[in-house]
Amino acid sequence: MQIKSDFLVIGSGIAGLSFALKAAKCGTVSLVTKREIRESATYYAQGGIAAVLGPDDSFEDHINDTLVAGAGLCDPKIVALTVKDGPARILELITLGARFSTKREGEEQRLDLGMEGCHSNRRIVHAGDFTGIEVENALVKAVLENPNIAVFENRIAVDLITHSKFVDDSGEEAVWGAYVLDKDTGKIGSFLARSTLLATGGAGKVYIYTTNPDVATGDGVAMAWRAGAPVVNMEFMQFHPTCLYHSKAKNFLISEALRGEGGILRLKNGEAFMARHHKMADLAPRDIVARAIDYELKQSGDDCVFLDMTSNSPGFIKERFPNIHENCLKFGIDMTKDLIPVVPAAHYTCGGIKTDSDGRTGLRGLYAIGECASTGLHGANRLASNSLLEGLVFADRAANAACALLDKEVEIPAIPEWQTGGAVNSDEAVIISQNWDEVRRFMWNYVGIVRSDKRLERARRRMKNLKEEINEYYWDFTMTSDLVELRNVATIAELIIKSASKRKESRGLHYNLDYPETDDEHFKKDTVLGGDE
């Protein structure tokens, strides 16, 4: 099976959907998504979107907050263009039908802007604590109503399709789409396009404990790396400080916005501890808070710390955080009077495929935006609620760039169908689950919140052996979704280990016990793998 279009979009979160809508104005779009179209990290986002919309806020403040959180590795030009473009992108969402929380100020109804950690002003546009659902629903509705966009659900991209033919006959390798597995039929088809966009999200599932949905297996980064695109700063995995700790709760995030509204982190004995770790106490950057919790738990031997919201009125909590309140109640926790048990968990991939300011990668015809990309916005640590903002801003920029280069007269080259070779159905699928579990566990133990050279070397040796097993299995047996994801998770793990081993300092989200200080002289730079590394 071959499907041709002007644009191929892989991923259906805020970045992919926004790009598809804008690209559809100048050409046809095929949108491929691993599960149902709404299943993405965007859908589960609680906090909101950071944008300068308040009368007391400024672009300069938002830029500075982002640079401070990024620990010296943000690209100032990228930060400035993202922050300054934010308000316009929010207004576009509102025009599409997204309904954000408002409050009355005098005679006017204004956006109810929230506060989050490391922000100097209230600037978080939100829809209660259902922001992701509201944004995703508005975008999905618009996409499904657009006649130029064809949506293909329950399909997982296997590999990018590269070919040396390009418009200028330079012989340079270019991307012309992707081989895609139909999870319902087990067949692999070719999705061919003049421009391909990766908007596949993050890689939190490389760790055993994560706030991410199951689809976050780093597919885009892994595919781009195999095709030859450089990747950047993969050592900077953000661990969200507050994931609900309960035996029956799976990946449920307790938003940063709770600490923005007065939440206090406490030890089991009731002691508030963040003030001794940072001057901003509970509003410190995420990397500081996650590391502080990790330190306190190792000192006390406790399983979790607790978030205290009881200084707020029950009415405020129920109105501002209805989703979190309702979900906590399911587990017997009434956050209006009970403390919420929390632990850190892998949350956001700050590194990714190296791109320019328009989402272009190191491969012609290939764009990457959102969490799978490394634009230079986040540096060594992402500022809260800058992720959805980045997805919106770079979807707009990448779509404009791709449309400007679209030449419908250019013929898509003849591409061979996927070859299964001698692969047979597996009778040992347990190998996949065993290797999957082992990768995620040693990544958590050795390449997690706190690292050391010894731990990284252990991870490198184990990953080398596992990769040989996984590659052997990959070529011998028929393709399945689980096998595709395992291969990608293993690739991501290898990239994180290699990047973390290169950075002989501690900065932002990367903390190495053997190099506890920040070394600007030698390491105030990106960690680049591939390309001209």
Q: Which residues are catalytic?
A: 286
Whole-angstrom distance, CA of residue 289 vs CA of residue 280? 10
Whole-angstrom distance, CA of residue 54 vs CA of residue 155? 41
Residue 228: Cβ-neighbour burial (10 angstroms; 0-12, 13-18, 19+): middle
Q: In what order do the strands lie in the sheet with 352-354?
A: 373-374, 352-354, 231-232, 528-529
Whole-angstrom distance, CA of residue 110 vs CA of residue 348? 30
Instruction: Print the SS3 string covering 136-157.
Output: HHHHHHHHHCCCCEEEECCEEE
Cα→Cα distances 471→189, 206, 460, Å? 22, 17, 16
Instruction: Print the SS3 string covering 29-57.
Output: EEEECCCCCCCCCHHHCCCCEECCCCCCC
Please give the distance of CA 150 from its chain centroid, rounded to a whole number. Answer: 24
Query: Which 3 state secondary structure label does DSSP give 9?
Result: strand
Instruction: Print the SS3 string covering 407-450.
Output: CCCCCCCCCCCCCCCCCECCCCCHHHHHHHHHHHHHHHHHCCCC
CA dihedral over 431, 436, 437, 439, signed as positive or negative: positive
Cα→Cα distances 123→19, 55, 87, 120, Å? 24, 10, 10, 9
Contact 369, 15 (CB under 8 A): yes
DSSP code string of 496-519: HHHHHHH--S-BTTB-BTTB-S--
Whole-angstrom distance, CA of residue 439 vs CA of residue 459? 9
Whole-angstrom distance, CA of residue 213 vs CA of residue 388? 16
